[in-house]
Structure 1
Amino acid sequence: MTTIRAERLSRSYGEIVAVDGVTLDFPAGSFTALLGPSGCGKTTLLRLIAGFEAPAEGQILFDDRLIADPLRQIPPESRGVGIVFQSYALWPHMDVAENVAYPLKTRRTAKVEIERKVADVLEIVGLAGFQARRIDELSGGQRQRVALARCLVADAKVILFDEPLANLDMHLRAAMVDVFRDIHRRTGATIVYVTHDQAEALALADRVAVLSRGRLLQVAPPRDVYRAPADATVAGFVGRGAIISGSVVAATGDMSTVEAAGHRFFARGGGKPGPARILLRPEALRLAADGFAARVLDSVYRGPVHEVRLALATGEEVVLDSIDAPAAGAVVHIACSDAWVIPTD
């Protein structure tokens, strides 16, 4: 296992600052998701770790070994890193076994050892017996598994994933999430996983690093990023929910009494009394006999529940999940079981 440390990393392309002074640790054996919208800098950060880009400022260390800074750059092939790309990067003229074996052949590993290792990793990714299959005979999910097997066969201590599930349909993505979790348990490798899909990040990683415009906004366990976002940008990007205006009336420890839309309730977080922005998640709201007064705007059936969109007296909108679908235009009341006061600078 390898510890990665990025210190004050910056990288620009002309006038565009892709990574802006990012400092981030990746503990040995951790699974960290780099999450954010397109253009936030997550792929550039991954490429800096891989060695495909050089930092303009800052440095990267693997354990205590300097890997890159503006003056020195260890080449990618010397970093002991395995990479799984969105495009799979498989050779169509080779069969499955030949694709997987390629890293071992470049090391001049003995043929018997290659055959054993290839069989082992194909078993791990669920492709036992597929050695002789052509790449064009495989489904998208199977091709992704071959790319993963090729990465694993080299015994990499660091594995980097660049949007690996972006080209798969919903059902294959769900299946591959289970594969990646199992690979992490089996190998104990330090994994860095780039995605714009928050559901993937929350399901897979033990740490989520949220980026925006090249800056690191928050790094925390998935539950904390979801329930206690560091700012409004993180709150708006991760999960469903609404940010409404209100005020902190009183605060005691980690809990506050807040007021919004003419209703008082409790919320986590807070600080000194005054204006506040409050995050309300759909699962923490329910139709009730009292609470917020709101007018139903519309509802969409999402399978087990209706996603109901409502307007508060302030004109701000919130969303809740309900088994029943109240009629559009109806005035209802909403009870809140959990809320978060978004920290201010």
Structure 2
Amino acid sequence: MTFIRVETLSRRYGNIAAVDGISLDFPTGSFTALLGPSGCGKTTLLRLIAGFEAPAEGQILFDGKLMADPERQVAPESRGVGVVFQSYALWPHMDVAGNVAYPLKTRRTASTEIATRVGDVLEIVGLAGFQARRIEELSGGQRQRVALARCLVADQKIILFDEPLANLDMHLRASMVDAFRDIHRRTGATIVYVTHDQAEALALADRVAVMSKGKLLQVAPPQEVYRAPADATVAGFVGRGGLIAGSVKEAAGGTAMVEAAGHRFKARSGGKATGPAKILLRPEALRLASEGFAARVVDAVYRGPVYEVRLALATDEELVLDSIHAPAVGELVHVACSDAWVIPTA
């Protein structure tokens, strides 16, 4: 079972709709990131797929077979799903091999086969030779790899990740992102990955489902979510940038002529409507120039290779751009724009 479908799925806690009428397919072998702020419903959706929660409305199907609806519920252990938690959920009294082998022992797999399969998955996750290590001897990243190996050894075709990197430092997170990408390539599993970290979602997934208040706002490849967000909420949550008020003067063929903050320029557009609009300007599409938006420098923070420069327009709206040089705070500058996106109207 590898194709997941949820249809008009809802889950409530009292008067709160944690998941509110969501319909979404997870194709076989896909890597989908559920992205959104805390409380948006992404973990509840994952728990519904895993079988840890029951839906109030709607249904969940794996390869067309009903897993759950308001009347019926297939047990989590019967769904063929592997789950990797933020907390690792490892047994401290067992060594690495014991933790990884546990799913096979519950199936009464032969001991010789267990040893072979444990060794194989530990090599996949970069822990070859760690069989006898105690859990307390491992770093956070290594513990997360053990949890992943335990999931892989059971040969599950669906793997669910619930904020698996939240407890790791920046460098360990970067290495684990590479590990997850490699695991997906090796196994071809259908992966659902819950995170509030947009960088993780964009780097890992082949598509991103952005959630807010129990609803889906946009489901698309990461490049599309970043470059063409479906609404202002997605634009504000994914990536850096400024949303400014403007007006579409002309629109045709995916391009619009817009006017904002006293400046006229071209922007990408998904519609043909003219009139008031919100326009998204990403930092990488902006540069200090001799003409363009007039703005005053509010702040310049060194971010390593560049300064992140915060600017205030005459309308009191703010823009952010990256610059090799730091302009003085209070300096009046002009900003040229090479790319912009007109936020679709409802």
**TM-score, length of structure 2 as denominator length:** 0.99
Give 2:90's aligned residue.
Answer: 90
The residue identity in structure 1 corresponding to 2:267 is A
For residues 64 and 222 of structure 2, the distance between their equivalents in structure 1, rounded to whole angstroms, comes to 28
- 3-state SS of paired residue (1:148): helix
- 3-state SS of paired residue (2:91): coil
The residue identity in structure 1 corresponding to 2:296 is R
Q: Which moved more, 1:54-63 or 1:269-278?
A: 269-278
The residue identity in structure 1 corresponding to 2:340 is A
The alignment's C-alpha RMSD in Å is 0.6
Give 1:319's aligned residue.
Answer: 320
Q: Which moved more, 1:31-40 or 1:309-318?
A: 309-318
The residue identity in structure 1 corresponding to 2:342 is V
Give 1:243's aligned residue.
Answer: 243
Give 2:69's aligned residue.
Answer: 69
Q: How does 1:84-123 map to 2 (within 5 A)?
A: 84-123=84-123
For residues 3 and 267 of structure 1, the distance between their equivalents in structure 2, rounded to whole angstroms, comes to 38
Q: CA deviation at 1:253?
A: 1.2
- 3-state SS of paired residue (1:108): coil
For residues 161 and 242 of structure 2, the distance between their equivalents in structure 1, rounded to whole angstroms, comes to 31
Query: How many residue pairs were aligned?
Result: 345
- 3-state SS of paired residue (1:271): coil
The residue identity in structure 1 corresponding to 2:329 is A
Q: CA deviation at 1:263?
A: 0.4
- 3-state SS of paired residue (2:236): helix
For residues 244 and 271 of structure 1, the distance between their equivalents in structure 2, rounded to whole angstroms, comes to 19
* 1:26-62: CA deviation from partner (whole Å, max 9, x where unpaired): 0000000000000000000000000000000000000
Gaps of 5+ in 1: none
The residue identity in structure 2 corresponding to 1:320 is L
Give 1:34's aligned residue.
Answer: 34
Q: CA deviation at 1:314?
A: 1.1
Give 2:21's aligned residue.
Answer: 21
- 3-state SS of paired residue (1:151): helix
Q: CA deviation at 1:16?
A: 1.2
Give 1:278's aligned residue.
Answer: 279
Give 1:81's aligned residue.
Answer: 81
The residue identity in structure 1 corresponding to 2:303 is R
Gaps of 5+ in 2: none
Give 1:181's aligned residue.
Answer: 181
The residue identity in structure 2 corresponding to 1:293 is A
The residue identity in structure 2 corresponding to 1:279 is L
Give 1:126's aligned residue.
Answer: 126
Give 1:211's aligned residue.
Answer: 211
The residue identity in structure 2 corresponding to 1:81 is V
Give 1:56's aligned residue.
Answer: 56
Which 4+ stretches in 1 moved above 3 angstroms? none
For residues 310 and 231 of structure 1, the distance between their equivalents in structure 2, rounded to whole angstroms, comes to 23
Give 1:4's aligned residue.
Answer: 4
For residues 263 and 340 of structure 2, the distance between their equivalents in structure 1, rounded to whole angstroms, comes to 13
For residues 152 and 197 of structure 2, the distance between their equivalents in structure 1, rounded to whole angstroms, comes to 24
* 1:249-274: CA deviation from partner (whole Å, max 9, x where unpaired): 10111000000000000000042110
The residue identity in structure 2 corresponding to 1:205 is A
Q: CA deviation at 1:153?
A: 0.1
Give 2:306's aligned residue.
Answer: 305
Give 1:222's aligned residue.
Answer: 222
Q: How does 1:277-296 map to 2 (within 5 A)?
A: 277-296=278-297
Q: CA deviation at 1:293?
A: 0.6
For residues 121 and 318 of structure 2, the distance between their equivalents in structure 1, rounded to whole angstroms, comes to 50
* 1:150-207: CA deviation from partner (whole Å, max 9, x where unpaired): 0000000000000000000000000000000000000000000000000000000001
For residues 233 and 298 of structure 1, the distance between their equivalents in structure 2, rounded to whole angstroms, comes to 25
- 3-state SS of paired residue (1:130): coil
- 3-state SS of paired residue (2:311): strand
The residue identity in structure 1 corresponding to 2:338 is S
The residue identity in structure 1 corresponding to 2:197 is D
- 3-state SS of paired residue (1:104): helix
The residue identity in structure 2 corresponding to 1:319 is V
For residues 43 and 324 of structure 1, the distance between their equivalents in structure 2, rounded to whole angstroms, comes to 42
